[in-house]
Structure 1
Amino acid sequence: MFQNQVILVTGATGSWGYELVRQLLDFDPKEIRLFSRNEFAQVNMKRFFSNNPKLKFIIGDVRDYLSILEACKNVDFVFHLAALKHVPVCEDQPTEAMKTNVKGTENVVRASILQGVKKVVDVSSDKAVEPINFYGMTKAIGEKLIIHGNSESENTRFVCIRGGNVLGTNGSVVPFFKKLILEGEDIPITSKLMTRFFLTISEAIQLLLTAALDSIGGETFVMKMKSCKIVDLANVMIEHMGKPNIELKEIGIRPGEKIHELLISEHESPHTHEFNSNYYVILPTNPSNLLQNQYHNLPKVNFKRYESSDALMSKSEIRDLLLKGGFLN
């Protein structure tokens, strides 16, 4: 499907972007445009991929409509990864989060429609479900804008994916814990009750590609994801790395943090189907006839909420996941 196609990736120089580009190159696309505002990160990425001639690096910001409009010219697929993602940063600077996560997404929708893009895949977050922090609120609005885009165009199709915490990505908890353990520092835990969904970067990109390849527009794809207590994750790392003197120090929940995260809400579960053994698919409350016909034969889910506290991994399962991802080496 991606062979000889032009693909645009916004926010391309982050952890997701590297793995997405690596997997997209296997499909032999015509061109992959890597759109971000960080010049130094683009230089490093260009070197990492050995100046691959299929990669075109574009300095720009999704906040700038004319910039994203030009980047979308003659593009077939857009993967919209650009976002401000750190919960405390978005709490402290909400207007900046609005500019990138809401206005930026609106710009991507408008530009994609005007330039005749075939399909746009938006990366959302579990924090968009019943949001209590500003980051989650902006991502929830972003989801609405993306799904609404389908009613604005007969040609450009829009779809969302929701992810949890991706192991090992920039700024995530696993490399942070590992750094503290290696330095002999105690690990700060906001709450010993806290649980989170986790997936590997490879699984996250497979979710993106599944949504791009199998969607018809208007759906939200959700991976069946593993979850664990953050204290269990920390203790597994401490035990495996042979640092028994490291302690966990409870520091209190930060502004905007939840104890447990949601991937599918009670409001959404009546419209959610089992897509296959790996994924759920959420339809909008007012699905088109095309969407209804596409999914009416798939079974509905039998839960009310899909929460990170529902089915927790054991310590041995956490260890296996970290070993698989190469985070305990």
Structure 2
Amino acid sequence: MFNLISALSRKQKSYVFLAIDLGLIPLALLFTLTVQPLPDPALHTLAAMLPVLPYVMLVMAASSVWLGLPMVQLNAYERHAVALTGVVAVMTAVVLAVLTHLFGPDLPSGTHVVFATSYMLFMMATRAFLHQIVLMIYRRASPRCRVLIYGAGTTGTQLAQALKSHDGIDPVAFVDDNGSLQGMTLVGLQVFAPSRIQELVQTRQINRVLLAMPSQSQPKQAQVILRLQGMGLEVQALPSFAQLIGEEALVDKLTPVPPQQFLGRKSHNLPLNEASSSYANRVILVSGAGGSIGSELCRQVLRCRPTKLVLFELSELALYTVHQELEQQAAEIGVEIVPILGTVTDPRQVRGVLETHGVQVVLHAAAYKHVPLVEANPLPGLANNVFGTQNLAQASALAGVERFILISSDKAVRPTNVMGASKRMAELLLQDLATRSSQTIFTMVRFGNVLGSSGSVVPLFQDQISRGGPVTVTDARVKRFFMTTAEAVQLVLQAGAQARGGEVFVLDMGEPVSILQLARQVIESAGYTLRDETNPEGDISIEIIGLRPGEKMEEELTLTNELITTRHPKIFCARETVLSEIEVAAFMRGLRQSLASGDALAARQVLQRWVEGYGSQDTDRKTS
């Protein structure tokens, strides 16, 4: 039967409806004559009317086709179609009244009113019956998706009403957080509490949950979705009215919140001006070119018009992305771009790249920088950040590179984590090379957290907000220095241009920013409210999770707090003691032996001995 129905075209189905409507005329007439008090029996009166019935049926067919009633689908038969049915029934009754008055038998006027009413009801009842039959056939022929509707408000009830006529979806019940609705029956479906979802899924064989509360904020919807998905359920959210009418495009046009908003100070603009001459018409290599800092270095260096820009990157995807971004712009200004897929821990490859391309300036941004990851994997972190820097720096000195600029971190000052300690060792290594190099200027730039960089706190907060929260903060007292990516890169290039060798440059970064306050700002900038004790109905909460291994409450920019001014009022040079060549050789030898033996504890002991501040952490911790 399913194959027969599905094989019928829309036109063929309209012929079926028209034939049924025509067949209902004598049935409705017989019913009318039966219930009406007439002198002759109903069948005798109907027989007397047979000569006029063909004309009545012809007029009915013409008016029905003209109004389009046979073309109305069963699942679309609603108020408008009912009105058309009434018009057809009245027109049919009027024609019947005229013909019986002219050709007999003569019937009371009330008979025609009853006929119009009964004929209309017959057509409506027939369509309702056919609709149920067809639904039953379709349901048996194909499995239906049983859905639970989360939200029993106006949107939810309208959704349930619409789905009841759907061929493949069967609404089973509602769940709603509103206690006053729980236990009620709306549009034939019972409303349950969310705590009973798991029970409903098992007892009523639920396949999917439809989230019907578009007026709720996105974080609250995200929280519900994550909770339902945690139960192993497939969840679909009904779009809001704004999305349905296309206003969601406005979201794409909103201006992103500028990183400067979270700085806690006025951002510094450090235009290169004459400093750009240190990079113009030179071959420049950027290690870690695909990272947040590395890619911005490439963009700003490109504006200085070097002769060649070498992109040195370990990640294939990151290298592809930055190369695709810069390739066209470089071609327009006549700069050659060379993408190199490699690692600074490979000394042979590093030497080959420097010699092959005649590199004159190295901007070393390649590093493992995520504190918890390096803390959990200290040996790879030390190999990359310390020995990778040594490989690239020594090869640069041998190749006669003019300038070598290391991107360092405020975590290198009295570090309590392996990442910071590795950056401090890289600084000490470069300071030693600077004292012994006659050709290459070795310098380093130390700055705080970069807003918006991969893995930094603001993108983490924004990701947590998009998932409904909570936003996690390690400690309410934690503070950090922040700067924008543009500031960081301008600082690197400015410092690199005025370096004479061995300096540690720092930026005037103002006062450190409270991470707790920053979390509040990010929540509010996203258009949501903070949920706490004073505002329990807010959108996003903040959760204090405790300091991670190796983290400090506050970072520092210098070891001695002694800063020397430079030609730029916002850039300073830190006055710090350095290790001798013998001491540097000793810690590098100890570190090399630790890495060769795979002994993380021994490596931590080397850091404890040679890196000021690292001894304050527990060096007896073991790592996997």
- Provide TM-score, normalisation by structure 2: 0.45
Match of 1:274 in 2: 565
> 2: CA distance between counterparts of 1:44 and 1:238?
30
Which of 517, 529, 532 lines up with 1:232 in the alignment?
517
| Structure 1: unaligned runs, 5 residues or longer | 288-329
* Residues 183 and 135 (structure 1), Cα distance of their counterparts in 2 relative to 1, 3 Å cut: same
| Contact kept in structure 2, 1:219 and 1:284, CA below 8 Å | no
> 2: CA distance between counterparts of 1:71 and 1:253?
41
Which of 364, 376, 379 lines up with 1:80 in the alignment?
364
* 2:533 is the counterpart of 1:241: no
Which of 389, 398, 406 lines up with 1:114 in the alignment?
398
Match of 1:48 in 2: 325
Match of 2:287 in 1: 10
| Contact kept in structure 2, 1:8 and 1:71, CA below 8 Å | no
* 2:558 is the counterpart of 1:264: yes
Q: How does 1:26-175 map to 2 (within 5 A)?
A: 26-51=303-328, 52-53=330-331, 54-73=336-355, 74-175=358-459
Match of 1:250 in 2: 544
Percent identity over paired residues: 38
Instruction: Tell me how far 1:240 sits from its aligned partner.
Output: 2.5
* Residues 241 and 286 (structure 1), Cα distance of their counterparts in 2 relative to 1, 3 Å cut: closer
Report the secondary structure of 1:50's partner residue. helix
Q: Which runs of 4+ in 1 moved over 6 A?
A: none
What are the Cα deviations for residues 104-157 of structure 1, in whole angstroms up to 9, with x where unaligned? Answer: 011011100110001100000000000110011100000001111112321111
> 2: CA distance between counterparts of 1:286 and 1:183?
47
Higher helix content, 1 or 2: 2
Match of 1:182 in 2: 466
What are the Cα deviations for residues 49-92 of structure 1, in whole angstroms up to 9, with x where unaligned? Answer: 23534211011101000111112221110000010101111111
> 2: CA distance between counterparts of 1:251 and 1:284?
35
| Contact kept in structure 2, 1:117 and 1:156, CA below 8 Å | yes
> 2: CA distance between counterparts of 1:100 and 1:66?
15
| Contact kept in structure 1, 2:431 and 2:578, CA below 8 Å | no
| Contact kept in structure 2, 1:185 and 1:246, CA below 8 Å | yes
Which of 17, 20, 26 lines up with 2:297 in the alignment?
20
* RCO higher in structure (CA 8 A, sep ≥6): 1
| Contact kept in structure 1, 2:289 and 2:322, CA below 8 Å | no
> 2: CA distance between counterparts of 1:40 and 1:242?
33
Higher strand content, 1 or 2: 1
Report the secondary structure of 1:269's partner residue. coil
Q: How does 1:297-308 map to 2 (within 5 A)?
A: none
| Contact kept in structure 2, 1:39 and 1:59, CA below 8 Å | yes
Instruction: Tell me how far 1:251 sits from its aligned partner.
Output: 0.6
| Contact kept in structure 2, 1:133 and 1:255, CA below 8 Å | yes
Structure number with larger C-alpha Rg: 2
Report the secondary structure of 2:305's partner residue. coil
> 2: CA distance between counterparts of 1:102 and 1:190?
28
> 1: CA distance between counterparts of 2:288 and 2:458?
22
2:518 maps to a residue whose letter is L
